[in-house]
Structures are given as structure tokens and as C-alpha cells.
Chains A and B, each alone.
Chain A
Amino acid sequence: MADGLAGTASVPGAASLAAPGSPHASMRGVTRVYPGAAPVHALGPIDLDLARGEFFSVVGPSGCGKSTLIDVQAGLAVPSAGEVTFEGRPVSGKVPDGIGVVFQEDASFPWLTVTDNIAFGLRRAGVDPAEVRRRVEYAVGFMGLRDFARAYPVQLSGGMRQRVCIARTLVLQPRLILLDEPFGALDQQTRLLMGDELLRLWRETRATVLLITHALDEAAMLSDRVGAMSARPGRFVDLLETGWPRERDSSLVAEAGFGAITARLWSHLRAESLKAMGGAPP
């Protein structure tokens, strides 16, 4: 998809790709402890390998460290112990080139138009203006924002603002996309449709995706693999392969195997959520 958002990263300083066969991104024995008078052990130890081009989702009870996991993999937070790598290089305290993050909260810049929001990172990276225009125009069309290109975020719905944030990340052509509950504030119907768009993006960009979500059906529908996390400190208690073909969409929810996947995820999530709430599973 050379004309779209995918293709060779042309942002200056783009890192070379890791050797084939090695994980695209990985965590080894990663923990995160928030220091203080009463230190909080938020995460880990976590071991995770993401294959290049894989769609991996993480589900877990509230407060289990899912967002911390994203922050650590992105380089937005430093692990207390363990090693994080991206394309074979260590990640610590700085977001490496090639990683894009979409956050749960509305992260659009309210003082910029949709177009300027999407172009923000490209302009800061010194990308050629003609290339900025090409990528932004493509992203605006791709995300269904053409009629709102000159609008400010305040004039958009929550879902549209989230699309702006996704587009702003995607125009950077990240090879690893980290999504921290990007559809958390949307209704179920919009979430499913946004999920379809996300799958389309994933196929077109061929990026590796790590998605954090509360929604089991979203995880089951979108992912190649789903990791279920325990109550805090979050660790993986199950890794599940969905076996879906790469060409898929939200019609998967009617598949026979879909219910089995969500049921297995729910059995973990229920038990861990009860633990997180201080109760024991019956």
C-alpha cells in the first residue's frame, strides 16, 4: 500500500528492522513498582514476545497494570526490573522511532484543526511538506474525516476525535502500534465499527499491534492472540490463539468459535476481577 499510510518509514532517523525470526518487540521479566511510602507493585514479572505483523490484545481487570504495560513497551515509563526491546534494541525512558501510541483519553490538541492535529508529528519530524500533505490527505480520507478536515476537535464527537488521534499516530508509519483502550469511551456499536476500521488499518500498514481493552468481544474479534492478565500486580495467566484469518471483520462475532474464546477469557477475567475487588471466586 505504497500510496497510503504503509510503506517504508520516511521519518528521519527511522531505525533499521530487526533480523527475521527475532521478536518484533519483547519484554523479559519486566516489572514496574511505583515507589513511595507504600510502594505499589503494579506490573509483572511479564514475559512477552510480539511477532512482526501480529495483532495482540491484552485483557485484564481494572488496575492490573495494562496501561503500565503499554507505557513500558512504548518507552514512556522505565521498568523497575527486566528488559524491554523493540526491533532488537533496548527501550528505556524514550519512545523509539517506529513506535506509535494511541491513548485512551482524548489526546487531540484542541487548538489545532483536524488536519493540523494529524500533521503535527510529521511537521515536527521535518518531513517534506508535500509528503506531509499526501499522508495527511490520505489519513483524513481513510479515517472518514474529509468533511471535518478544517474543524476543531471541539466540533467533533468522541469517536471522531479518537479517529483523529489514531490518524495522527498512523501517518508516522509506526511499525509497532500501541493502543491503550482507544475505544473505551465509545458505545458498543461504534466500537465494533471502529474495530473493523482498525483491522483494515492493520492489514494495510502491516504493523504489529498491541491493543489494551476491557471488551472481551473486541479482543476476541480483532486479535491473533489474546493475553489475559491477573489482578495487580498484572501477569499473564493465559495466552490464547484465536486462529482467525488475516482477512476478518466484525461479522466474526457470529462465528461458532467466537463464543468459546470470549467464554475462556471471561472465566479468567471474572476470577481476576473478583480478586481485584477483594472477593474470592465461588
Chain B
Amino acid sequence: MSRGRAVLASRVGLIVGSIALLEILCRTGVINPLTLLPPSEMAVAMVNLLASGKVAPDIERTFSTVAIAFALSVVVGIAAGAVLHAIPRLRRALDPLLASYYAVPFFVFYPVLVAFFGLNEMPLVAIGFAAAMVAMAISTLNGLDRVPPVLIKVARMHRLGRLRTLFLVVVPAAAASLMTGMKLALAYAFISIIAGEFILSGKGLGYQIAYAYNSFDNKTMYGLMLFVLLVATAMNSLLHMWEQRLLRRRSRA
């Protein structure tokens, strides 16, 4: 068995083993079923919920909010990273602020955001954007810092203009860092929006989980939690695989 397959087998074994252990502990009463449903029941609850279509509007709402926040954070984050890279003085001025950015609890701004945007999904988009954008900007900055200067010289030797240098040399050279930024941005947008819905919103998956929790509806709560967990893992795994593929091809020996 190759090393890669062995690692994959260990990973799958660990996950399946943990689920099986949890199932046994719940079924044998070691863990109170009122506290935690057996994984098999969570899965059944999730399938039933999805099949019933009851939560479809909430799924749509959450995913559209995440998608808008993610797309905005990628576009603005890349632009912000590029501007900071191009203006070292501005970068030096903002460096301490960037370093302490994630110490800011974005959710406290929710009332202000509601006042600005109204009672719709936009305040949550803003929170997701705020959480994700700086990660994208910092990754862009790191990526641009690591573009070997000799590649820029090659672009100049080929008499490429600024725009062609950017798209044909700089972006591909920084692609691995940009991918890392996108991965982080997606994770931060997803986490902050689900959390925002949980405590602040009247719609969305986060809100439905909170509502089920307050109503002692364990099946709905755990079904939705499993769904969120699976979606988050799947999205991150896809981006991770794409990132690894890029890195494998590009890493210097």
C-alpha cells in the first residue's frame, strides 16, 4: 500500500472508529440519549429533514449569504492585498491593525449594521465579509511577497505590460497563497454567518439550530448540526485538495 493510501485508510479508520464508539456509548446508555443522539439517528434525522424540504429556505438563505460574503471578501481582499503590497508605507501603517484584527468581536456591530442595511441578510453578509476579507488580504500579501523577483524580470524581458504581468506571471506565481486565502475566507465566512444566524437572525441554518435547541427538538438540532458539519467539511476538503494539487505541481524540489 502506498504512503498516501495508508494515510487515507488511517484517516477513514479514525473517523469511522470514532463514530462507531459514539454510537456504542449512546446505545449502551453511557451517554444520555437526551444529551447526545446516536450518530445513526442524527443521520436519519438529517435525511428526513432534507427530504421534507422544511429547511430548504433556510439552507438557501445561509448558502446565499455565505456565497455573497465569500465572493465579496475574495474580490476586496485580493484588491486590498495588492494595494498594500504596492504601497509599503501604507502597509507599515496598517500592519499592527491587521495583526490585531481578529481580536475584534464583529458581532457587536450587528445593531449598527442593521441600522445601515435594514433587517435583511445584508448585516450578516457584512459580518461574514468582515471576518473573511482580512484573511484573504493577508494571504494575498503573503503570496505577492513570495513571487520571485526573477519572474518579474522575465516578464520585463518579454516586454509584458503591467496587466499582462499581473495575470500571466504574478497571479499564477501567487496562486497557492491565494488558494490558502480563499480556503480561510470560506471557513471564516461560514463560521461567522452560522454564528450570526444563531444569535442574531430569524432565518437560516444557524437560526433553525438555535430554535430547535430552545424547543428541546434534539432530532432537528442534531440533524442540522450534522448537515452543517458535513457541508463545511466537504467545502474545505475540496479547496484543500485543489490547494494541495497546486502545491504539488509548483513546489520546488
Among B157, B168, B169, B253, the residue within 8 A (CB) of A95 is B157
Contacts of B172 in A (CB 8 A): 109, 111
Q: How far is the CB of B235 from chain A (nearest CB, A)?
A: 24
Which residues of chain A (132-162) have a CB below 8 Å from chain B?
152-154
Which residues of chain A (105-135) have a CB below 8 Å from chain B?
105-107, 109-111, 120-121, 124-125
Among A74, A105, A111, A125, the residue within 8 A (CB) of B150 is A105
Judge whether A95 and B159 touch: CB under 8 Å: yes
Contacts of A152 in B (CB 8 A): 249-250
> How far, in angstroms, from A179 to B252 measured CA to CA in the complex?
22
Say yes or no for B156: interface residue by CB 8 A criterion. Answer: yes
Tell me the dominant secondary structure on chain A's binding face.
Answer: loop
Interface residue stretch chosen among A49-57, A96-104, A262-270 = A96-104
Q: How many residues of B contact A (CB 8 A)?
A: 22
Judge whether A103 and B153 touch: CB under 8 Å: yes
Q: Contacts A109-B151, A152-B249, A154-B252: A76 and B168 contacting too (C-beta < 8 A)?
A: no
Contacts of B159 in A (CB 8 A): 94-95, 97
Q: How far is the CB of A73 from chain B (nearest CB, A)?
A: 12
Judge whether A124 and B253 touch: CB under 8 Å: no
Judge whether A124 and B168 touch: CB under 8 Å: yes
Judge whether A107 and B151 touch: CB under 8 Å: yes
> How far, in angstroms, from A169 to B153 measured CA to CA in the complex?
13
Judge whether B160 and A124 touch: CB under 8 Å: yes
Judge whether B157 and A101 touch: CB under 8 Å: yes
Contacts of A97 in B (CB 8 A): 159
Q: How far is the CB of A210 from chain B (nearest CB, A)?
A: 14
Among B154, B158, B252, the residue within 8 A (CB) of A110 is B252
Q: How far is the CB of B244 from chain A (nearest CB, A)?
A: 14
Contacts of B154 in A (CB 8 A): 103, 107, 109
What are 28 contact pairs spanning A and B, CB under 8 A? A76-B153, A94-B156, A94-B159, A95-B156, A95-B157, A95-B159, A97-B159, A107-B148, A107-B150, A107-B151, A107-B154, A109-B151, A109-B154, A109-B169, A109-B172, A110-B173, A110-B252, A111-B173, A121-B157, A124-B158, A124-B160, A124-B168, A125-B158, A153-B252, A154-B249, A154-B250, A154-B252, A154-B253
Interface residues of B (CB under 8 A from A): 148, 150-151, 153-154, 156-160, 164, 168-169, 172-173, 175, 248-253
Interface residues of A (CB under 8 A from B): 74, 76, 94-95, 97, 99-101, 103, 105-107, 109-111, 120-121, 124-125, 152-154, 169
The 3 closest A-B pairs by CB, nearest first: A110-B250, A105-B150, A121-B158
